[in-house]
Structure 1
Amino acid sequence: MGDQSDKGQHPANSPTPYAPYAPYRRPGRRPYSVRMTTGGSGIAHGFPHLDTVRAALAALFRRLSHDTVSTFPTSVLPVDVAFDDTEDVHLGAQRIARAVVHQLHLPDARIVITFREMEHAATVELTAGPEYFVELNDRFRRHRKDIGAALAHEVTHVWLHRLDLSFPGTRDNEILTDTAAAYLGAGWLLLDAYREHGPFSQKLGYLTPEEFGYVLAKRADFFDEDPAPWFTSPQAYDAYTAGRARARQDARRPPLAGAGWAARLRYAKDRRAAQDPRRTAGPVAGPGDGYAFEPAAGTGAPLRVSFPCPTCWQRIRVPVRGHLQARCGLCKTLLDCDT
């Protein structure tokens, strides 16, 4: 059992009762957990899951549509997830959980949050609803500022479950969860929970810090919202900066007009090869840049090039005829192209 001083009596007029400090588990339900990495090593960096992250962004837009994604213009605010030492730990956790529930447009319902010793940061029971059952690692009774990060991941699991959106395999499904949380305005908390101070380090979630930064930068571009002032962790800010730099590279890939000169030279070479009348093979692809020239559909038809949208990664197909503008049919982004 944990520190009994954190227990308290629930006020009679409170709308959402909390459970006493005792592990609560509904029988027959599979829990989903958020990974917690602590210690001096073991935190991965870079962009090892970038293909899955991009697939997750595409899946969100396909499942929700541009109009629905656009209803998440404002992230959960720092003031709504702040937690000080004077607030009751259960009531505070429920208050933050409600903020995340509202952020993801989930219905209001009874929230049961308990604390126990466990390997992971938190677990959630995925049920048909409407209640929410979450267990938090007992360490959050002492490190309360990261409760919002753990709840952001777990409540997003509930949101995806009720949306019936998932990826095959635990790893990819957890990456989908982190990506959805970050893109829909709750996941900046997960990046802000990343800290390194000498021998101490901590990270929540399955994405690397830089991948969280990448997704948050994609959100910032789409919604014109800058999360940088919200970070309390210097390491989180650095990871966001690295992710933002990687995200900006996506807008500098040919045939987009912002491509660099070296990429444009490669593109022109591949275009000449695709236009060679002696060529009888299939499409000519640009390795690393994602574009592919496709043979004309009929006599006199122009050569076409397909490439991934830098916002949602849906493939776009346009004729090869110099400068033009193309609008992604999925996320509605208008793109300047030099084909």
Structure 2
Amino acid sequence: MHPCIMEALQLSKLPAYPISKPILTPKRKHVGYTVENIAIEILKGVWINGSIYRPAKYKGKIPVILNPDGHWQDHRFREDAQIRCAALAKMGAITISYDLFGWGESGLQFKYEDHRKALSQTIQTLGAIRILDYLLSLKEADTSRVAITGGSGGGSHTVLMTAIDDRIKVSAPVVSVSSYMYGGCPCESGMPVFLCGGGTDNLELAAMAAPNPQLLVSDGGDWTDRMPEHDFPYLQKMYSWYGKKENVENVHLPTEKHDFGINKRTAVYRFMAKYLNLDLSAIEKNGQIDESTITIEKMSDMYVFGEKGEQLPAHAVKGFENLEKVFEEAIK
């Protein structure tokens, strides 16, 4: 399956790295963690932007957790995305949130409607691979403790990245995995990934994580509503073939809807603490998760290239047609 997926994404041959260093903004200090913004050039003139959260103090090697965004208003700048990344950093991990293609700061180069084109799935995947390349090159990064968690479209991205990148050891797709819903956006299903293996779906892709630890968070208000009785038993069966049935978990919230709210975040925090050896007590008070010491930053503080893109490099690619040309040249 892996070779077929990479071929479907047109990433069997990864494009060469542009000769540039990541652009980092100065660190902002908060209670128990720091934040800095980053832009990584993934193709000549094309960047993926995000924010890196780190524990304020740490010793030795620490885990890395990717936090891809979903299709929610305000993108990675929204409150619950900031809270999740900051909380995981306070617990002792390097965490990063990053933009969907055409959303957030990517919108400085491409139109919103470009996100609804098939190549967006490939560009987002390439961006995540390059983010991992960078983070795992850091001297403090523990390459044996690498995780990913995202909700909705970010959950689909979580499943795909876990299936294709062996560096990821722990995963937690939230409100995303279903055997009857493949994702409602071309960034999730635009490339012919689901034609692999004679026809597949996100549930089978999620099974490719086995035997590594995986948490699936589902609810009663979206397409994950049948997870406990239909989809989760299948995953348990796949894991049992490795003798690791206990490594796949499901937290189902039948009265909740499609979001990444506190109960869903709590499930992720506890799961990541369990498998990445994180300090849950850093965000826990009297047995309850306490996110009250986390600072919600202004959107303008989270930009790399300025509020209006005034710091975007001069050689930046703009427009989808130009992106297609750059990508085709890069994979020759």
Normalised to the residue count of structure 1, the TM-score between the two structures is 0.28
Over alpha carbons, which structure has the higher Rg?
Answer: 1
Structure showing greater relative contact order (alpha-carbon pairs closer than 8 Å, 6 or more residues apart): 2
